[in-house]
Chain A
Amino acid sequence: MAASTERETDMGSVNAGVSARRAVSSAPPLALRILAECPVSKARACDLTLPHCTVNTPVFMPVGTQGTMKGITSDQLEDLGCQICLGNTYHLGMRPGPEIMEKAKGLHNFMNWKNNLLTDSGGFQMVSLVALSEVTEEGVRFQSPYDGKEILLSPEQSIAIQNSLGSDIMMQLDDVVSSTITGPRVEEAMKRSIRWLDRCIAANKNPDRQNLFAIIQGGLNAELRKACLEEMTKREVPGFAIGGLSGGEAKDDFWKMVTLSTDYLPRAKPRYLMGVGYAVELVVCVALGCDMFDCVFPTRTARFGSALVPWGSLQLKKKQFAKDFQPIDPDCHCPTCKRHSRAYIHALFKCDTAAMHHVTIHNIAYQLSLMRAVRASILEARFPEFVRTFMRRMYPSRETYPNWAVEALATVNITLD
């Protein structure tokens, strides 16, 4: 059904992408075709052609940390219209490890995923998950939580693992510092990230089929961000990520760094805002000019029984849903909403993992269809109106709109009523 039409459009865009490569400068194996730009804000709708298929942006990329999407089969994920998802280099590098990955001929094959994959560098997990880690110029040194062995993750090592994973987009190893710290460590990390970018570019064995994205750092300091942007945009990389955000910093600081970054990033290359996934953040950051997003939130929260809906979320494990025989969202067309009620999922949560799968499917469907609706509104030049409608549905009243979102949208000329 939808899947076959999807594929036909993909084929169409692949050809379109090839010609676009000549028109819009970009390094293979990636082509970005800008289809529409919002005349009011910085929002844009593009076709991003990658080795496995064309991705319609703005796009939310679900996170399949260990080579699987949390109980959802690759067919189910494809049926939801997912064109790109994430794998985590740190986890996959540990288990099953690059050797098995080489034997499996890459992560696509290993997990039987036909569309695109993006892998992170492993740096973020190292710093956030591993207590015993130490960053030096060489790389990140840490102790394996599985066998206690000391391991060095250098930029070269990270790229080597990502080369064995065969992802369509690889991320450079960056020096990750908490977004809430200040002082010289932020500058050191930013400068080191630039040096590591160069080492990553040099280490990429497959530049013909694996894209390497740079990650803009600089914490919450505008000057450092600008310096990083200036240096990194001099490099021939196929795309950029905005990193070091979404780590518990104040929302006011967050959006200012995002909009600053998109101001300096080249128009012709994709912009990936790392770690963002709440609906309102997605909509605002699209307005600020970002194309790609990822977050574990929609799938993680699903496993706790939280279903995302246009007016917020439903905590399905709560007793109030025990006799609620409506679907999660009566207007949703996902396989879960077509077949099951809130009451049934509530009951199922008491005895089987399939309850989680139902909500995971719904939440991914919600994120993807939100982004499809965003894209359609950009293509039809009605994005500002879309944002207003979205906000009205999401919040009970004008007074409850988050201030940062109102302000951020105002800077790109979207006023909320």
Chain B
Amino acid sequence: MRLELYRVLQQCRRGVLLDLGLSGEHSLELPGCLLYTRCGTVPHLTYHTLCTLKHLPAVTQITLDSLAEHQEVLEEFQEGVRRFAGLKDTLIFCSLHDSAAPNHTGYTTNKTVSVWGSGGRIELTVAQYMALQKAIRPNWYQSMADGETRQLNPTRKRVCKAVDRTLSHLDECLSLHLKTEELRGAEIFGVVEGADVLEERVRSARETAKRPVGGFVLDGFHTEAMSQELRSQLIMAVIKELPENKPRVLLGVGHPDEVLACVEDGIDLFEGFFPFQVTERGCALSFSYTLDPNPESTERNGREFEEIPEHRESETLGHQQKKTPFEINLKDRRYQDDFCPLVVGCGCYCCKNHQRAYLHHLLMTNELLAGVLLMVHNLEHYCGFFCSLRGALESGRLDALKKKVLQGRV
């Protein structure tokens, strides 16, 4: 794995990860997002519907939350999760928790972490964690980490303990990694913890950077955990401690405005759970991100904006996350006879073939196709946003893109 930077502006990086995969056949453009999956499947999608997407991320993210319960099966299968899930041509990044799933606290110990599958809690020691990785055979995986400081409003002592534990887990993981034939060629990403304590963040980053890791995972910066201002401060401090030649993955952050800010702070990779959350609340991403100066797309962007201020904040959504200003709620009555595509000019399968009125109908009747079509659109829109973000970095127009994306905010 080799990181090549085309353009660096202060902390902000535009680059590419090369020579990925066992035979070095893959590459990944940065900044980018990972392909979000549960049990190796992009929610609601089959191979056919997934293949309608044009800008699919080269790296698929899987989590132990959805895979730990299948350890025995994967061990017997022997060929790793990629073949088990029929994914074939992709790289696998394995992280601990599903950022879109409810998060549980109070179960982490000195020696173990817990994940939650369909059958409940599964507790993992480092040895068990590594046995799971051996069965999963990812290309990259995060080391075992104590990320429990994310919601507890932890004391400084607890934060310090989390950093210590995470470093000690990392050392154990690294030593087992070397002994595991099945993980040859795979990379461990070290996890930076430290909650909102600047000194602990810096210590965590500095110590992790001393280890032979392939990259870094920044944990505990979730949307709900802190303001963007604080997040940026902490990230910048962390990044000062990290080497330039290794990728930085940020967990738990997915809103476009936060992504833009964090890219400026030096983040390379994000998780892809946000489009899934939007889908689950019956919404479609509709924010504008096109900087293309050609008149056709300017016109279409103009249309998108007109619609956004109409949103009523009183809309009640049956999902835990609140609707963000980057999406429209298709359950709203006003879409029942709206025969426009979700986003005018969008080239996704859903927008090319279906109209808002149909999606409204599917949502009102609880039909499964609603999730399929919304997931296709939201994924395409989100990946398109990252594409545009990379383009803006290349042409030095990040500010213009920020303006455009934030323009639609209520």
Contacts and interface: CB of A to CB of B under 8 A. Distances in A.
B129 interface: no
Interface string A62-105: 00001111111111100100000000000100011001100110
Interface string A326-353: 0000000001100111011001101111
B357 A72 contact: no
Interface string A104-145: 100000111000000000000000000000000000000000
A66 B337 contact: no
Interface in B22-60: 38-49
A61 interface: no
A355 B73 CA distance: 17
A71 B85 CA distance: 19
Nearest to A70: B368
A346 to B, nearest CB: 8
Given A71-B44, A350-B69, A352-B41, A104 B371 contact: no
A70 B369 contact: yes
A315 to B, nearest CB: 17
Contacts of B355: 104, 110
Given A70-B367, A73-B49, 7 more contacts: A71-B372, A99-B337, A104-B339, A354-B44, A354-B46, A357-B46, A357-B372
Interface string B120-156: 0000000000000000000000000000000000000
A335 B118 contact: no
A73 B50 CA distance: 12
Contacts of B361: 66-67, 95-96, 100, 110
B146 to A, nearest CB: 25
A323 interface: yes
Interface string B344-363: 00000100011101101110
B48 A71 contact: no
B86 interface: yes
Given A95-B361, A344-B85, A352-B41, A66 B49 contact: no
30 contacts: A71-B369, A72-B369, A73-B49, A73-B353, A73-B369, A74-B353, A75-B48, A76-B48, A95-B361, A95-B364, A96-B357, A100-B337, A104-B355, A112-B353, A323-B72, A336-B46, A339-B47, A343-B84, A344-B85, A347-B70, A350-B69, A350-B119, A352-B38, A352-B39, A352-B41, A352-B44, A353-B43, A354-B43, A354-B46, A357-B372
Nearest to B376: A73
B336 A100 contact: yes
Contact of A352 (B43, B69, B72, B369): B43
B336 A96 contact: yes
Give the most central of A69, A100, A104, A357: most B CB within 10 Å: A357
A269 interface: no
Nearest to A92: B361
Contact of B46 (A74, A343, A351, A358): A358
Contacts of B46: 76, 335-336, 354, 357-358, 361
B320 interface: no
Contacts of B362: 66, 68
A347 B73 contact: yes
Interface residues of B, number: 45
Interface residues of A, number: 43
Contact of B117 (A75, A110, A325, A350): A350
Contacts of B364: 95-96
Nearest to B75: A323
A32 B58 CA distance: 51
B48 A66 contact: no
A322 interface: yes
Contacts of B371: 71, 353
B73 A322 contact: yes
B357 A110 contact: yes
Contacts of B48: 73, 75-76, 79, 335
Given A322-B73, A340-B86, A354 B41 contact: yes
A221 to B, nearest CB: 38
A100 B369 contact: no
A356 interface: yes
B365 interface: yes
Interface of B: 38-49, 66, 69-70, 72-73, 76-77, 84-86, 117-119, 336-337, 339, 349, 353-355, 357-358, 360-362, 364-365, 367-369, 371-373
A73 B73 contact: no
B339 A351 contact: no
B66 A351 contact: yes
B39 A323 contact: no
A322 B70 CA distance: 9
Contact of A350 (B39, B43, B337): B39
Nearest to A72: B369
A76 B372 CA distance: 12
B349 A73 contact: yes
A81 to B, nearest CB: 14
A351 B367 contact: no
A358 B85 CA distance: 12
A111 B372 contact: no
A356 B372 contact: no
Contacts of A67: 358, 361
Nearest 10 pairs of A and B residues by beta carbon: A71-B368, A350-B118, A339-B86, A68-B369, A66-B365, A112-B353, A96-B361, A351-B39, A354-B41, A351-B38
Give the most central of A74, A325, A340, A351: most B CB within 10 Å: A351
A74 B84 CA distance: 28
Interface in A20-57: none
A70 B339 CA distance: 22
Nearest to B39: A351
Contact of B354 (A72, A112, A343): A112
Given A79-B48, A95-B365, A100-B337, A348 B357 contact: no
B39 A347 contact: yes
B55 to A, nearest CB: 19
B76 A323 contact: yes
Nearest to A91: B365
Contact of B47 (A73, A91, A95, A335): A335
B276 to A, nearest CB: 10
B196 to A, nearest CB: 32
Nearest to B361: A96
A192 to B, nearest CB: 31
A160 to B, nearest CB: 19
Contacts of A70: 367-369
